[in-house]
Amino acid sequence: MIKYKKIVIKIGSHLIIAKGKKIFSSLASQVKKIKDEGSQVIIVSSGAIATGVQQYNLPSKPKSIIEKQAYAAIGQPLLMDRYISAFRKYNIKVAQLLLTREDFEVRERYLNLRNTLNYLLKINVVPIINENDTIATDEIKLGDNDNLSAIVASKIDADILILLTDVDGVYERNPKVYPDSKIVYEVKDIDELVSKCEISSSSGFFCGTGGMKTKFEAAKICSFAGIEVVIANGLKENVVLDILKGKKVGTRIYPKNKKITSKEKWIAFKKSQGKIFIDKGAELAVTKENKSLLPVGIKKIEGVFKKGDVVSIFSEEGKEIAKGIVNFDSEEVEKIMGKKTEEIKKLISEFGNKEVIHVDNLVVL
């Protein structure tokens, strides 16, 4: 019996192009078993660029954006072709969804996406998602598929995100340098994992190989959204089924939070339009006492934002601690910050909203 009802599986590019490892057929047979138990599966697959490059036998990876976009366009249909034929053997239909950041941020687009995804699941199809690399420029790019899969998982209320890569899990130290380094199999939350791993100051997380930094970021998003994450080796036989049965494979990270509301998700994943730096008192009020952010606690702001935008709240130490929907334009916040309500009323008689960010529109990260 599988206790997870909605499962997101992310497949890394290395797995897609690994020779002779039959990742597609292995995945299809496991997905078949999961679906037979009544659970739903969504796949986030990398590998469009790598497949395109492989097709052309290029001597090195393309570097320029235009080349990457072109090889993604070449590789994406080939990639889907492999999924389609592998899943056809089990009589499972798949669908392709190519997304950018805007598809999660522009409400109408997001609602369309959510409705389509839910409908595909309802009619028993396995959605296969990738970033729309061909059109994604920096402003609209999510960046990498670890983050994309975490956002997908949290938006659709998944129960678990499985990040499949070509290493066995997260190592305490870089196994290439320290071959006797051990895998961390289970942690109560992402903070424990960070504390157990050696972190290099220059390149972020040093443990393991192959893009662990973005996997940690994905685990942070999921931790916040109340979703379990497992990082494991996709080349191991039946790895997904073993993870779902709770076996000791890969690195399992439990979430810190319980599931969060859609409004909280909306705020947390929306791109910030500005920064508000607050003092210790306001930090305590916002993070521990469940209170609104008032003008008096604000020390400085950065960026130009409008009433209704999402902004990030930073501590005195420069750490992003919360996000929220702001009640004033940045120009107005400049005028009222650091002041008490009575003082502000003398300056602006019609000062209505006492809070710069109301507690109901605020998410502590």
Residues within the interface to ligand GLU (CB under 6 A)? 13, 46-50, 72, 130-131, 133, 144-145
CA angle 273-255-239, nearest 5°? Answer: 115
Q: Smallest distance from the beta carbon of 98 to ligand GLU, in angstroms?
A: 9
Q: Smallest distance from the beta carbon of 144 to ligand GLU, in angstroms?
A: 3
Q: Smallest distance from the beta carbon of 145 to ligand GLU, in angstroms?
A: 4
CB-side neighbour CA atoms (13 Å) of 263:
7
Q: Smallest distance from the beta carbon of 211 to ligand GLU, in angstroms?
A: 7
Q: Smallest distance from the beta carbon of 37 to ligand GLU, in angstroms?
A: 29
Q: Smallest distance from the beta carbon of 90 to ligand GLU, in angstroms?
A: 24
CA 41/CA 48 separation, integer angstroms: 20
Q: Smallest distance from the beta carbon of 76 to ligand GLU, in angstroms?
A: 7
Q: Which is nearer to ligand GLU, 48 or 344 (CB)?
A: 48
Q: Which is nearer to ligand GLU, 50 or 232 (CB)?
A: 50
Q: Smallest distance from the beta carbon of 142 to ligand GLU, in angstroms?
A: 9
State which amino acid sits at residue 203.
S
Q: Which is nearer to ligand GLU, 128 or 187 (CB)?
A: 128
CA 217/CA 136 separation, integer angstroms: 20
Q: Smallest distance from the beta carbon of 48 to ligand GLU, in angstroms?
A: 3
CA 39/CA 228 separation, integer angstroms: 16
The 3-class SS string of the chain reads CCCCCEEEEEECHHHHHCCCCCHHHHHHHHHHHHHHCCCEEEEEECCHHHHHHHHCCCCCCCCCHHHHHHHHHHHHHHHHHHHHHHHHCCCCCEEEEEECCHHHHCHHHHHHHHHHHHHHHHCCCEEEEEECCCCCCHHHCCCCHHHHHHHHHHHCCCCEEEEEECCCCCECCCCCCCCCCCECCEECCHHHHHHHCCEECCCEECCCCCCHHHHHHHHHHHHHHCCEEEEEECCCCCHHHHHHCCCCCCEEECCCCCCCCHHHHHHHHCCCCCEEEECHHHHHHHHCCCCCECHHHEEEEECCCCCCCEEEEECCCCCEEEEEECCCCHHHHHHHCCCCHHHHHHHCCCCCCCCCECHHHEEEC
Q: Smallest distance from the beta carbon of 51 to ligand GLU, in angstroms?
A: 8
Q: What are phi and psi of 62, to 5 degrees?
A: -70, 145
Q: Which is nearer to ligand GLU, 75 or 274 (CB)?
A: 75
CA 334/CA 6 separation, integer angstroms: 45
Q: Which is nearer to ligand GLU, 71 or 328 (CB)?
A: 71
